[in-house]
């Protein structure tokens, strides 16, 4: 498979997953605010600012907007053209990557991704948005899940598909850590919080809802929402398909199927770092994580995922081959032309 194609498939998957996660995170915050009473402007900002921080785009946000008001944050996260990570821009990037490899993907996938792209760029998208943000986000999430379904059900599960899986799960793991990090300011720096207010319960439920984890969580822990359990579930569950452990496990599998290298060994740094991170997730407890401090743990997890992405790029996409020097080629060509002109004279 062409390196460029692998790269495009990988980024297509990442951007689709990114758009979906933005929809989740903004949607849930909007819904959460409906349940919280006595909101003044200051408190509203306390709810919206962490959303920008979670996305890691604080700097570019404050260049455009002075305050993290609800309207400013949603506009920035959803429609902002200058924010390459906004929902609309992510969909544009996903579609652009798909267009680069139009010949490698199925008609069904292209049609749905193109439909989503045309939708978010149409005036109609704004109308749907104005009528009700939830309906808008529902459309995005449904389309993203539809696309994932199409990817699984219509693409050949070959090397390209494994690059898509790698991109999807790497992005999802990263976004789950960011969603989990949204409420870190209400936590002590280290250790498990003892008392949880009723607003905080609502907030942590919102975190679960952002990951579509509410139902799954309830079936395991009943309705008792506590940050320790939420973190345990979203980080360490090995069955929940949006938990970090689950995602890293899938990423590990994809990398091994790409290279054909069995478990317990590695041939490049992407495999090494992924295997190491997975082992750590497999053999950690949530109390150990809170001992380090949830926020610093998540920070480090994001670093690890970034490094894996960089190593994956180095191993498969950008391989420095020994290229003959261009100057040398030009000289060769000039000699050839001289020979030629001797012949034709």
Q: Interface with other proteins by CB under 8 A: which residues? A: 1-4, 6, 96, 99-100, 102-103, 107, 110-111, 114-115, 118, 121, 159, 163, 258, 316-317, 319, 321-324, 326, 329-330, 332-333, 336-337, 340, 343-344
Distance separating alpha carbons of residues 169 and 254, to the nearest angstrom: 9
275, containing H or E segment: helix 269-282
Nearer to other proteins, 99 or 141 (CB): 99
Nearer to other proteins, 47 or 316 (CB): 316
Nearer to other proteins, 109 or 236 (CB): 109
Tally of CB atoms within 10 A around 275: 18
Closest approach of other proteins to the CB of residue 170, in Å:
16
Please give the C-alpha separations between residue 53 and each of 11, 60, 133, 143, 330, in angstroms, as whole numbers.
Answer: 22, 11, 21, 26, 51
Closest approach of other proteins to the CB of residue 319, in Å:
7
Nearer to other proteins, 131 or 157 (CB): 157
Closest approach of other proteins to the CB of residue 264, in Å:
22
Closest approach of other proteins to the CB of residue 334, in Å:
9
Closest approach of other proteins to the CB of residue 98, in Å:
9
- 3-class secondary-structure state, position 98: helix
94, containing H or E segment: helix 87-100
Helix intervals (H) in 133-268: 133-154, 159-181, 198-210, 214-221, 227-236, 244-259
Nearer to other proteins, 3 or 282 (CB): 3
């Amino acid at each position: 498979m062409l390196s460029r194609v692998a790269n495009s498939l990988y980024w297509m998957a990442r951007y689709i997953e990114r758009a979906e996660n933005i929809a989740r995170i903004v949607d849930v915050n909007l819904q959460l605010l409906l349940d919280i009473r006595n909101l003044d402007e200051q408190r509203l900002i306390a709810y919206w600012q962490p959303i920008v921080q979670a996305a890691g785009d604080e700097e570019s946000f404050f260049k455009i907007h002075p305050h993290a008001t609800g309207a400013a944050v949603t506009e920035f996260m959803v429609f902002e053209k200058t924010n390459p990570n906004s929902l609309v821009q992510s969909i544009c990037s996903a579609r652009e990557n798909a267009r680069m490899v139009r010949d490698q993907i199925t008609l069904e996938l292209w049609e749905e991704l193109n439909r989503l792209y045309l939708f978010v760029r149409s005036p109609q998208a704004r109308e749907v948005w104005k009528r009700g943000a939830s309906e808008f986000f529902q459309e995005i999430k449904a389309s993203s899940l539809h696309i994932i379904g199409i990817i699984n059900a219509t693409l050949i599960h070959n090397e390209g598909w494994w690059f898509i899986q790698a991109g999807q799960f790497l992005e999802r793991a990263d976004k789950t850590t960011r969603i989990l990090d949204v409420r870190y300011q209400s936590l002590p720096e280290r250790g498990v919080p003892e008392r949880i207010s009723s607003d905080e319960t609502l907030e942590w439920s919102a975190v679960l809802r952002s990951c579509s984890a509410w139902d799954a969580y309830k079936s395991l822990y009943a309705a008792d929402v506590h940050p320790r359990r939420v973190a345990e579930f979203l980080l360490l569950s090995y069955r929940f398909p949006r938990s970090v452990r689950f995602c890293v496990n899938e990423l590990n599998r994809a990398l091994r199927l790409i290279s054909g290298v069995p478990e317990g060994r590695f041939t490049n740094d992407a495999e090494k770092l992924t295997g190491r991170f997975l082992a750590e997730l497999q053999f950690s407890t949530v109390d150990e994580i809170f001992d380090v401090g949830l926020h610093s743990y998540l920070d480090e997890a994001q670093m690890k995922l970034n490094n894996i992405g960089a190593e994956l790029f180095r191993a498969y996409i950008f391989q420095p081959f020994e290229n003959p020097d261009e100057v040398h080629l030009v000289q060769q060509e000039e000699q050839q032309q001289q020979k030629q002109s001797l012949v034709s004279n």
